[in-house]
Amino acid sequence: MLQKLVINNYAIIDHLAMEPDPNLNTVTGETGAGKSIILGALSLILGERADTSVLINKNEKSVIEGYFDVSKNEVFKKALDRAELDYDAQCIIRREIATSGKSRAYVNDTPVTLGVLNSLTSLLVDLHQQFDHLALEDDNFQMEALDAVGNNVALAENYRQLFYQHKKIKQKLADNRERQSQWQKDADYKQYLLDELVQAAFREDEIEQSEQQLKQMAHAERIISVLQGARMVLDEGEQPLVNELKRIGQQMQGITDLMPELKPLHERITSVWAELKDITNELEEEEGRVILDPAVMDELQQKVDIGYKLLKKHGARTTGELLAIKAKLEDELKATLDINESIDRLAKEEGALYSQLMKEGEKLSAERKKVIKPFAGRINELLVLVGMPNAKFDIRVEKVAPTTHGIDQIHFMLDANKSGQFQLLQKAASGGEMSRIMLCIKSLTAKALHMPTLIFDEVDTGISGEAARQVGVLLRDLSQYHQVICITHQPQVAAKGSRHFYVFKEADKNGRLSTQVRVLKQGERVLAIAKMIGGEQPSEAAMANAKELVGA
């Protein structure tokens, strides 16, 4: 709900403030007083583009601010959250136009783009101007209106939830199938690579160990020669070192009683003898492990050659990296099998959801079709009342593939002059007619649909008398559920307002005219409406008529 509108330095408005009430606010004034300028300023905070031509004082910026009570507007709260903007029960929308022509927009003092501003304020204000009724061309609005009058909102919401569930599963299925298609292209090659690695059957560090073993075998004679030479010196020569140390130890043992201080030296010699004896035995064992078998060498060479080939093919450096690649290939090929199972499961789930969705869609469609005739009939009754007795309204339904709003496409049709030829509403109706048709539709859906502040610009153009009175009644009834602001030239409409704003021009001390607005008190209101009836000098009859209208 719009709590306050403040306009500074815009066109012929120096400063202006309006505080609408929650119900029906009527705005009147002489032609050229500035009513459309107020709407122009309001449209700026709704996201319209602007330029410096709107500046009165070229040395000061233009500022337009709208204060909105959004405490009960959950849709707007969620939209703020999606835009990552702070929420407050009172939302302040501000638009500034600098002297340079640069424009800035703010939501609760946070700068936003015009796109964000437009999307947010569309949830706060619905501005109905002649030739500007996009809602009537919007299939969603038409569907929502039909569901509202048929009490099918809950049924439509249930269908919508199913639609989103089906859409989510369908997308997941499509993603899986795309991955499956990509994986299947690579699966044969991956299987070939895996088969190579499986056939090679490498163990951890096997290539490195085989390479080392080959080096040993290539130098086997030298290794054996060195090992045998060492063993000969220690144990098998003419004077083996092991035996000599043993003899020395035995001799040292014989004199330790005579010279006890030699006992530690004897123990060291004995320890060295034991260590050399162990070394001799290990030399013999190592010599026995040196292989000279050509067949074994050939086998090792083949293993290393295969290893080098695979390392190069996979860009790996070690046996461990090859084994990791092998494990990854196994996982990927297993995933191919898993995704096939997942696709089968998702396909069954998608099919079941689609059947359920179509069932709910058919049910919703049937309920809508029940409503069409009485809804169109009620609109036609209202069209007569609002000055369109020759117009015929109708609703056509076309079955389509499931969408967010069902399996129907709704077309609002109009025969403006009893020609028997129905056309799409937006093509058949004039601007004024569109305004009145929109008023009729919204008056029937007011209880069921959440709507923002509704602003009607001269919805009563081209009508008078009883038709104008009926427009006023519809606006008043609509305002019981939604805040309505209506700019009007009709006394019958102006009299229905719960708050009456009067727009006028006033000269300052320098003789410069600027637009002003004020709320009329009861007596002032009667006089203003009397002037709308009888001119600047209203007669007693006009005054009486005005009092009757205001009191009605």
What is the 3-class SS of 451-501, one letter each residue? CCEEEEECCCCCCCHHHHHHHHHHHHHHCCCCCEEEECCCHHHHCCCCEEE
Tokens describing residue 302: 């083949």
In a domain, 452, yes or no: no
* 212 belongs to a structural domain: yes
The pLDDT tens digits for 121-141 are 988 988 765 434 445 555 677
The residues, any chain, with a CB within 8 Å of residue 548's CB and separated by 6 or more, are: none
**With contact defined as beta carbons under 8 Å apart, do 200 and 323 qualify?**
no
434-449: pLDDT as tens digits: 888 888 888 888 777 7
The span from the CA of 213 to the CA of 291, in Å, is 9
The answer to whether position 482 is within a domain reads: no
Predicted pLDDT at 375: 92
Residue 294 lies in a domain: yes
Higher pLDDT, 96 or 433: 96
CA distance 328 to 314: 12
Backbone angles phi, psi at 418, to 5 degrees: 55, 40
Q: Average pLDDT in the 310-314 region?
A: 87
What pTM did the predictor assign? 0.65
Kindly report each contact of residues 193-202 with a partner whose C-beta sits within 8 Å and lies 24 or more positions away, as own/partner. 193/313, 193/314, 193/325, 193/329, 194/326, 194/329, 194/330, 194/333, 196/310, 197/310, 197/322, 197/325, 197/326, 197/329, 198/326, 200/306, 200/307, 200/310, 200/322, 202/307, 202/319, 202/322, 202/323
The one-letter code for the residue type at 113 is T
Can you spell out the DSSP letters for 303-338?
HHHHHHHHHHHHT--SHHHHHHHHHHHHHHHHHHHH
Write the CB contacts of 2 (distance below 8 Å, at least 6 apart in sequence). Answer: 20, 66, 67, 68, 124, 125, 453, 483, 485
Looking at the chain, the whole-number percentage of residues with pLDDT higher than 70 is 97
Domain that holds residue 236: 206-317
Residues 17-37, mean pLDDT to the nearest whole number = 90
Q: Average pLDDT, whole number, for the chain?
A: 86
- Domains identified in the chain, total number: 1
- The distance in angstroms from the start CA to the end CA of the chain is 26
* 305 is a domain residue: yes
